[in-house]
Structure 1
Amino acid sequence: MNETTSTQSVAEVMAELATLEDPKVRLVNEKHGDDHGVKLSELRAIAKRLKTQQELATRLWDTGETPARLVAILICRPAAFSPDELDVMLRAARIPKVHDWLVNYVVKKNPHNEKLRLLWFSDPDPVVASAGWALTTERVAKNPVGLDLGGLLDTIETQMKDAPDRLQWAMNHCLAQIGIEHAEHRARAIGIGERLGVLKDYPTPPGCTSPFAPIWISEIVRRAR
């Protein structure tokens, strides 16, 4: 996507976001830990109109406001950030949706993502560590060469049960991905999931796959046959 010359100021974007605030949307978002009331579809529409604008993205991020940060993520150039900049941003991304989008839309596309994966993986802050696990899950699926899959399963087996929610979710995703992608580890991954019971009772809407690793692994493998 070509970068465009800014036609809107930060103040103008913030004013537009304020007009889109919906108390009903905020109520739903707050149940997931998100502190805003703007529909994601409306945020994406703003970003589509603005196109790629790195300077504006940086300034929107600096407002600290969740809707502005989500737009910033969508209009930035992921490769433009240094590892230090992304580290600071990730540690400031305490809102779940901001954290999720930053990791998936920016960090994963940044050329320094492996350096950041190693930096964050064992961080004492569980929210930061969850980003390291998310990047590890990406490697499990796309570029597993050099990963110690057995060692990852060892860590999951000993630490996932008592991990804080967001870190536990990220570790569980890694567990499922190992079981899905690597047949030689599948039985052990399923066994770990069954023994730990993490997310076994998670409410799953009709037509969706349960995040309980044994079910998740078995269902995705079945579909691939």
Structure 2
Amino acid sequence: MADKKAAGRPRGLDLVDLGYDSTHYYGLSAPGGWLLIDVGWPGTLPKLRAAHTRMGIQERDLRYLLCTHFHPDHAGIAQDLKNLGVRLIVPPEQEHGAIAQRTIMRPRDPYIDIDMATNLTLPLAESAAFLASVGIPGCLIHTPGHSDDSVSLVLEDGRAFIGDLYGRAWSPEPDQAKVDRSWRALQAAGARRIFPGHGPIDRPIEDYLG
């Protein structure tokens, strides 16, 4: 899915889908290294490494990890990546989810608990400046609905990485009003093309609106 020549995108900011086990995990290549968006179930680091090899990504070039929310299929190997030197970005809105993730793991899962003291705490209001400093023009916004700790990355070119937030036509949530507010926030932030955690990718935001 790498798209190196798309008009209007910052030079060097390429996108790849590193997904496996029916979930999309994305990588954004910036001048300073790769930002990973979501990672898989506990024990699946070898699968992620295989995806890196397939896409020609060197492990030494991994810089940051953003988990759209802290559920096992999106953040199960977050600490594994941290142990390799990757910085885990955690906005304050996600701290409770990162801590609580251990409570939703299955007993057989080889989960490594997240060391909260060594995360990169990033207030959402400061996310645009931080992302710009590492060569990724965009921002993080809080998009609760699927979970209270859900955040989305919206790039200046309109690509948005939303995790498991879905519109009415896809997967109704118990608090649909909260989901609707999150979609309005995405629109206000300039989201135009949607890259979810599951299902079709790179579709217009209108496809997800009820």
Please, what TM-score do these two structures have when normalized by structure 1?
0.29
Q: Which has the larger radius of gyration?
A: 1
Greater strand fraction, Structure 1 or Structure 2 = 2
More RCO (CA 8 Å, sep 6+):
2
Structure with greater helix share of residues:
1
